[in-house]
Amino acid sequence: MKLNKKLFTTIIMLIIVVISVTAQDYFLKNKAPFNAEVPSPEDFLGYPIGEQHTRHDQIVAYLMKLAELSDRATITTYGETHEHRKLVILTVSTPENLNNIESIKSEHLKFIDPNQTPTNYSDVPIFINLGYNVHGNEPSSSEAAMLTAYTLVASNSPEVKNYIENAVIFIDPTINPDGRDRHTQWANQFRANSLVSDGNDAEHNEAWPRGRTNHYWFDLNRDWLLAINPESRGKLKWYHEWYPNVVTDFHEMGTNSNYFFEPMKPIGSKDPIMPKENYEDLNDLFAPYFSSALDNIGSFYYTKESFDGTYPGYGSSYPDLQGGLALLFEQASSRGHLQDTDYGTISFPFTIRNQYTSSIATIKASVENKATLRKYQQDFFKSAVTQKAKTGFTAYEFGDAYDMNRNKAFIDKLLIHKIRVYKKGDKYIVPLKQPQHRMVQTMFETYNKYRDSVFYDASAWSMVNFYNLKYKGLKSANLGEEITSTDNLVTVSKVQQSNYAYIVDWDDYNATAALYFIQSKGVKVASAFKPFSINTSNGSKSFNYGSLMIPVSKQKKSSNEIYKIIKETQDKYNVPIYAINTGFSNKGIDLGSNNFRTLKKPKAALLVGNGVSSYEAGEVWHLLDTRVDMPITKLQMRNYSRANLDKYNTLVMVSGSYSQLDSVQRQKLKKWTSKGNTLVTIAGASKWVIDKKLVKEKLTEKPKDSSKTKTTKRLSYADASEHIGRERLGGAIFKVDLDLTHPLGFGYRSSTLPIYKNNTVFLTPSKNAYSTVAKYSDNPHIDGYISNDNLNIYLKPSASLIVSPIGRGRVIMFADNPNFRGSWYGTNRLFLNALFLGSHISVPKRRN
């Protein structure tokens, strides 16, 4: 029998409706009726939410469809990821509100302007930014974003209509699309029709580097303060245009957990610069909404026991510093579609439903407390300009006389956060009396007393120290001229042509990039191992250790060709370059001296893969790829044994277990190094080369206790994790004393340097008197938490940077992380010196 076509279509439609109703029952309870013209996520995608993981481009396409079909939504692109994925925000409200969005925005912004005092708190719709999926492999929240968007755009229930009348909701479905798609691809490719809940299945165990991080393996949930990546830079630009009152940050945690919403752990979260009302009043106002919504669907949860909002670069803390209320949510992960737990299985749809439920509860709580939130944000910005800093300072002054590009990079950060900065002579002034008062404190203040000592992450974030900029607090200050852009901040005088030589300052942050560029054009470059002063086309000038010299007549290229390359270098990197017409110095070495060493171009590889810290590896890759424009081979651990290492003169190892490197592979590494090559080890890898006896160095140990009869003090079992946690070094800033005459110290002018330490690798100073390039100062603490034992027993006597010989080669061992989160402009140079000058470092032997 031939089936009537119309009847067939009707049957199909009915099936779809039945499925939709099921999905709506599970996720969208009590939100009917829905506008039939607007497709649900399931209609659009062709599968019910939770059946598989949705690619970011499909999410964006769905939100675009909503914006196209409905007058309740508009969509904007606020940026693009490293891998060119779109970063979008869907703005949802009533058609009337969206038509008047510019005037609503200007009404809203009056509340953050300390010079205005509007009181119509309830008249202006509240601004809510629902942010999802900052960690790519915590995927439930982006699926919930589609359901939330659909609910707000299509539901005609009185409840939802009330929300959109009283709020403008900004939905950012995926903060980290590159990481999300890495995980999406993984989870979908291993999905079976008969779902496998066994935690051992490939579906539940992603390959290195996993999807949490972005393209360069950076944690974007630390980048709100540091603003290194385009995802955060785009978001911050959007943020400072809209200043939302409430911001969500959705995550996933261990499979066996339940659900977490704020308040967080009290002590650590009471940031010394945050109004206490944020933690005490606003959290208490919102928490009951989440508990009752989750109780309604039978979900379990906890609060108060963990997480802290101390570090200001989380998605759940930065908005608190902008007068908003930031909310952290953590869902137990199904990591895949279905996974076994102690209480049976946890399914992907279940995790999505909890995130969806919290999204709607957030909107409800915000709308019902509109006036309180708005008044809070107004008070926040008003107090910013009236509040006096406890330090007694009214401003900070900073500036580096030798390195304009490093000044520029820091000022760029200040401007991204809307911090006002002024130029006065060759110094820069940042007043405390300004709407971003608390961000100024964040950038410049340092702490050593903490109410809590167990931190979820870093306990130091005074960014001025990251940039190694000398700074001081001022009791009073004249401001000078405001800087509104860094575009023309660095002006170098144009280099003239010379037939003799060119000199490039090694002080400049971009000098390493300039060097690699010149070297890659086939031009020989030498480095000054002693200082000198010489006549330049701009008069007599002193040059420091490490200054680069390009001799013209010693090249295979003509003088004109060399000049062209030199000019191109200067245009590209904005570095000071000088034309020299004589080899005779006024002081110090002449240009023909043997203390100029012709530099080898680095041919570098970085070990990556299982067991290697993807964060530290990503930091190395990011630095070289985005700032030095230098390729580095990412050598997979699984290929190490058959790789020909002779292709490289430099190998970088960051923290990792390196358990795959057995004695044969370690011998291979040692043999390669001994041929004159350079092995650079960071943090855990420095400990590894000592533990495996590749070098004759030692780790700092606790002095042996002489009293043999000493009994162990009893402690309460319940306090164990707190006690053990205190001995962790989550991240703090210390002073080291640097040997400025050592090639690793070239480009520095002061022997005191702030470094970042987030590990407990403590190196004993070398027995060789010339090998300890940097040692912690006698009084090393600058900022952040460290236990007394770690400070006095381990850190103070230890070295921060050691060079240890193997045959004709050397191992350059960093105890600390010079490239932390792409933000340590101050110590990047130490690492880049290891790459560019490493081949020329010998370890002199002294007869004792």
**HSE-CB for 424 with a 13 A CA cutoff:** 14
Cβ(757)–Cβ(731) below 8 Å: yes
Nearer CB in complex with Zn ion: 251/821: 251
Stretch that binds Zn ion, among 247-255, 288-296, 316-324, 770-778 (CB under 5 A): 247-255
Q: Which is nearer to Zn ion, 331 or 839 (CB)?
A: 331
158-189 residues labelled b (16+ CB within 10 A) or e (exposed): eebeebbebbbbbbbbbbbbbbbbbbbebbee
Cβ atoms 511, 747 nearer than 8 A: yes
| Residue number with CB closer to Zn ion (271 or 330) | 330
Q: How far is the CB of 252 from Zn ion (least distance, A)?
A: 6
Task: Provide, rounded to whole angstroms, the least separation between the CB of residue 335 and Zn ion.
Answer: 12
DSSP for 436-505, please give it: THHHHHHHH------S----SS-S---HHHHTT--EEEESS----EEP--STTS---PPPPP-SSEEEE-
Q: Could you count the other beta carbons within 10 Å of the beta carbon of residue 445?
A: 20
For residue 752, the tally of other CB atoms under 10 A from its CB is 12
Quickly list DSSP for 312-345.
TTSTTTGGGGGTSEEEEEEEE--SSSEEEETTEE
Q: Which is nearer to Zn ion, 221 or 827 (CB)?
A: 221
Report the relative pairing of strands 501-504 and 427-431 from DSSP bridges.
unpaired
Q: Which is nearer to Zn ion, 91 or 133 (CB)?
A: 133
What's the min distance (Å) between Cβ of 177 and Zn ion?
15
SS3 content of the chain, % helix, strand, coil (to 5): 35, 20, 45
The tokens for 725 are 């946690």
Q: Locate all alpha helices (DSSP H) within 190-329, ordered by sequence.
A: 223-226, 230-242, 266-269, 276-277, 283-296
Q: How far apart are CA 410 and CA 413, in angstroms?
A: 5
Q: Which of residues 203-242 bind Zn ion (CB under 5 A)?
A: none
Q: Give exposure, 731-740, as e/b (b: 16+ Cβ within 10 Å).
A: bbbbbbbbbb
Residue number with the shortest CB distance to Zn ion? Answer: 251
Q: Which is nearer to Zn ion, 235 or 757 (CB)?
A: 235
337 neighbors 348 (Cβ within 8 angstroms): yes
Closest approach of Zn ion to the CB of residue 614, in Å: 15
Residue 640: which of 612, 600, 601, 598 has the closest Cα? 612
Give me 362's structure tokens: 């957030």
CB of 251 or CB of 374, closer to Zn ion: 251
Residue 214 beta carbon to Zn ion: minimum distance, rounded to whole angstroms: 13
Whichever of 179 and 323 has its CB closer to Zn ion, that residue is 179
786 CB neighbour count, 10 Å cutoff = 27
CA angle 760, 312, 422 (to 5 degrees): 110
Residue 752 — φ and ψ, nearest 5°? -95, 125
251 sits near Zn ion (criterion: CB under 5 A): yes
Stretch of 124-132, 246-254, 423-431, 780-788 contacting Zn ion, by CB under 5 A: 246-254
522 token code pair: 């086939």
How many CB atoms neighbour CB 301 within 10 A?
A: 19
Contacts of 281 (CB under 8 A, 6+ apart): 376
* Host H or E run for residue 511: helix 511-520
Nearer to Zn ion, 618 or 754 (CB): 618
Number of chain positions touching Zn ion (CB under 5 A): 3
Nearer to Zn ion, 253 or 645 (CB): 253
CB of 182 to Zn ion, least distance (A): 15
Stretch that binds Zn ion, among 111-119, 251-259, 575-583, 718-726 (CB under 5 A): 251-259
Q: Compute the least distance from the CB of residue 330 to Zn ion, in Å.
A: 7
Binding mask 115-144 for Zn ion (x = CB under 5 A): --------------------x--x------
Q: What count of residues does the chain have?
A: 848
Tell me whether residue 221 or residue 366 sits nearer to Zn ion (CB atom): 221
Q: Note whether 348 and 191 are within 8 A (CB).
A: no
**Measured from the CB of residue 331, what is the shortest distance to Zn ion in angstroms?**
10
Q: Please, what is the minimum distance in Å from the beta carbon of residue 307 to Zn ion?
A: 10
From the CB of 657, what's the least distance to Zn ion, in Å?
A: 23
Cα separation, 698 vs 766, whole angstroms: 8
Q: Are 86 and 99 in contact (CB under 8 A)?
A: no
Say if CB 327 and CB 286 are below 8 A apart. Answer: yes
CB of 329 to Zn ion, least distance (A): 10
665-704: contacts with Zn ion (CB under 5 A): none
Least distance CB 78 / Zn ion (angstroms): 21
Least distance in angstroms from the C-beta of 134 to Zn ion: 7
> String of b and e for 412-438 (b: at least 16 CB within 10 Å)?
ebbebbebbbbbeeebbbbbbbbbbbb
> Is 135 or 775 the residue whose CB approaches Zn ion more closely?
135
Cβ proximity to Zn ion, 135 vs 364, nearer residue: 135
* Nearer CB in complex with Zn ion: 212/370: 212
Q: Which is nearer to Zn ion, 138 or 172 (by Cβ)?
A: 138
DSSP 282: I
Closest to Zn ion by CB, 135 vs 408, is 135
Q: Which position has the token pair 């404190």?
A: 441
Quote the CA–CA distance of 264 and 822 in Å, as a whole number. 28
User: Smallest distance from the beta carbon of 298 to Zn ion, in angstroms?
Assistant: 24
Shortest separation between residue 221's beta carbon and Zn ion, angstroms: 6
Rounded to the nearest whole angstrom, what is the least distance from the CB of residue 253 to Zn ion in the complex? 7
Minimum CB separation from Zn ion for residue 251, in Å?
3
Cβ nearer to Zn ion, comparing 129 with 772: 129
Cβ atoms within 10 Å of 248's Cβ, excluding its own: 28
Q: Candidates 69-77, 250-258, 617-625, 790-798 — which segment interacts with Zn ion by CB under 5 A?
A: 250-258
Site string for Zn ion, 138-177 (x = CB under 5 A): x---------------------------------------
What are the residues binding Zn ion (CB under 5 A)? 135, 138, 251
